[in-house]
Structure 1
Amino acid sequence: MKALLLGLALAAGALGAAAQENTLTAAEKAAGWKLLFDGRTTDGWRGFKAPAPDPGWAVKDGTLGPDPKSSKDIITKETFGDFELAFDWKIAPKGNSGVMFRVVEEGDQTIFSGPEYQVLDNSRGEPPLERAGALYGLYAPSRDVTKPVGEFNRSRIVLRGGKGEHWLNGVKVVEYDLNSPEFKAKVAATKFKAWPQFARSPTGHIALQNHGDAVAYRNIKIRPLN
């Protein structure tokens, strides 16, 4: 009987822990956090230059992900300036994806305007500037702190006054200043120089990318810092 009661208690605890995904604690609500994904619907999101996400974006087991073969990027309906963004992600083996910010609907793709937090299985062997946690193509992560493929990673972007930080699994891996001469020089030396709107807007949408690989996102939440 004791063993049965212990098993029931553990099961209840596991269910309770699962129920906490895609929710806000009382402390988070008091601090100004808001959910961008409720774990059940795509409310709050739409397509890039489209009124709704394409049908490939689906909610499964409390996660949000694209159809790798057909989906286009999606963006938040709201725009944000300075913010703290938190999200969990897991990627398919050798997979690639990303989260963009301050996206505006100029050009044909979200990356034409929005700097990207790289989401990646680092075993793909990409160069440092394109590894998980990087500001894609511009600033490499200081080290690899990703979880094994199949496990969720916890990421955070903090952007205030143009100064950005990328965190991965509790470690700050990237720092930059969007307004600095260094940042502008890096942009001028890359493909981003072809897109005059890149990293220029003081506000914009958050975007989730489909790069042709299976990826799952959960616990997507934001705290405006304006």
Structure 2
Amino acid sequence: MNYLRFSANVPALRPTLAIGFLALTLTLNVNPVSAASVPAPHTPAAVQPEHLLKKGKWETLFDGKTLKGWHIYLKEGQPVSDKWTIDDGAIHLASGGAGDLVTDKEYGNFELEVEWKIAEGGNSGIIFHVHEDPKFKATYQTGPEMQVLDNERHPDAKQGRDGNRTAGSLYDLQKPVTPGAAKPAGEWNKARLVINNGKAEQYLNGKKTAEYPTSGPEWDKMVAESKFKGWEGFGKYATGHIALQDHGNKVWYRNIRIREL
């Protein structure tokens, strides 16, 4: 009896089942889903792990004997001032008034390593993405600077905001991520600068001292709150020369090498 009752109700359900089955069939035919149609996850190049970055070969920027590959800013093809000398395998600024020393070649994305030593009370800097143009009278008018300084004796260390003019900092733009990384005047410091796809990192003696974008809203805000506010060309160039600053004080640079990323 129960079987007969169930069978008698089947015809009444058939139209609904048929319609449902048809709708399901159309859905599967119109919108097929397969593994091939699902996009693979994408990791932007700017945040790729360091070991996955495509790196070039290390290139020596200073042979320890000559200033081949360098020139004074805005004086390419002219003899380098005798105030920039070679001292025991290091580039040495013996006295001020020489002008900033810049690489002949320009660089965009790169990893730079250099050792520096500053005299007591001294000031200098490593400046990057320098645009060489007569309308800009100095390298720092276009290029951001990794500060080189005697923190104990030079007044710049106490100026600016929160130590953003101390050794290893992004000069006047960002306070050190790790304060106190610099060694005293007269001792060698090892600096490392990495610029890659709009992001920069600075290291001093193995400690990260700065991390920042090189363009975009965050960078623009940093510039607007610094001494560089309103400067026409500052930080506007994605490629440029690397400069060693003549700030009038004795400074030494050695073991300079770079590789493009």
**TM-score per shorter chain, which class?**
0.7 to 0.9
Measured against aligned partners, the alpha-carbon deviations of 1:86-108 in whole angstroms (never above 9, x if no partner) come to 00000001111001000012310
Instruction: Quote the offset at 1:35 in angstroms.
Output: 0.5
Q: Which residue type is aligned with residue 226 of structure 2? A: T
Out of 116, 121, 133, which is 2:150 matched to?
Answer: 121
For 1:36, the equivalent position in structure 2 comes to 61
Out of 92, 97, 100, which is 1:70 matched to?
Answer: 97
Q: Secondary structure at the match of 1:130?
A: coil
Out of 155, 158, 183, which is 2:194 matched to?
Answer: 158
Q: Which residue type is aligned with residue 172 of structure 1? A: K
For 2:85, the equivalent position in structure 1 comes to 58
| 8 A Cα contact 1:68 1:211, kept in partner | no
Are residues 1:104 and 2:131 paired?
yes
| 8 A Cα contact 2:94 2:251, kept in partner | no
> Any unmatched runs of 5+ in structure 1?
1-29
Which stretches of structure 1, 4 residues or more, deviate above 4 A after TM superposition? none
For 1:47, the equivalent position in structure 2 comes to 72
Distance 1:115 1:156 in 2: 15
For 1:5, the equivalent position in structure 2 comes to none
| 8 A Cα contact 1:99 1:209, kept in partner | yes
> Any unmatched runs of 5+ in structure 2?
1-54
Q: Secondary structure at the match of 2:229?
A: helix
Q: Secondary structure at the match of 1:135?
A: coil
Distance 2:173 2:96 in 1: 27
Measured against aligned partners, the alpha-carbon deviations of 1:189-221 in whole angstroms (never above 9, x if no partner) come to 223123221111111000000111100000011
| 8 A Cα contact 2:200 2:214, kept in partner | yes
Of 180-189 and 34-43, the range deviating more from structure 2: 180-189
Q: Secondary structure at the match of 2:164?
A: helix
Q: Cα RMSD between the aligned structures?
A: 1.4
Q: Which residue type is aligned with residue 248 of structure 2? A: G
Are residues 1:167 and 2:203 paired?
yes
Q: Which residue type is aligned with residue 61 of structure 2? A: L
Measured against aligned partners, the alpha-carbon deviations of 1:170-205 in whole angstroms (never above 9, x if no partner) come to 111110001231220121222312322111111100
For 1:90, the equivalent position in structure 2 comes to 117
Instruction: Quote the offset at 1:34 in angstroms.
Output: 0.4
| 8 A Cα contact 2:112 2:258, kept in partner | yes
Q: Which has the larger radius of gyration?
A: 2
Distance 2:59 2:94 in 1: 26
For 1:178, the equivalent position in structure 2 comes to 214
Measured against aligned partners, the alpha-carbon deviations of 1:98-126 in whole angstroms (never above 9, x if no partner) come to 01000012310000000000001111351
Distance 1:66 1:72 in 2: 10
Provide the aligned length of Structure 1 versus Structure 2.
196
Instruction: Quote the offset at 1:68 in angstroms.
Output: 2.3
**Percent identity of equivalent pairs:** 43
Q: Secondary structure at the match of 2:219?
A: helix
Instruction: Quote the offset at 1:31 in angstroms.
Output: 5.6
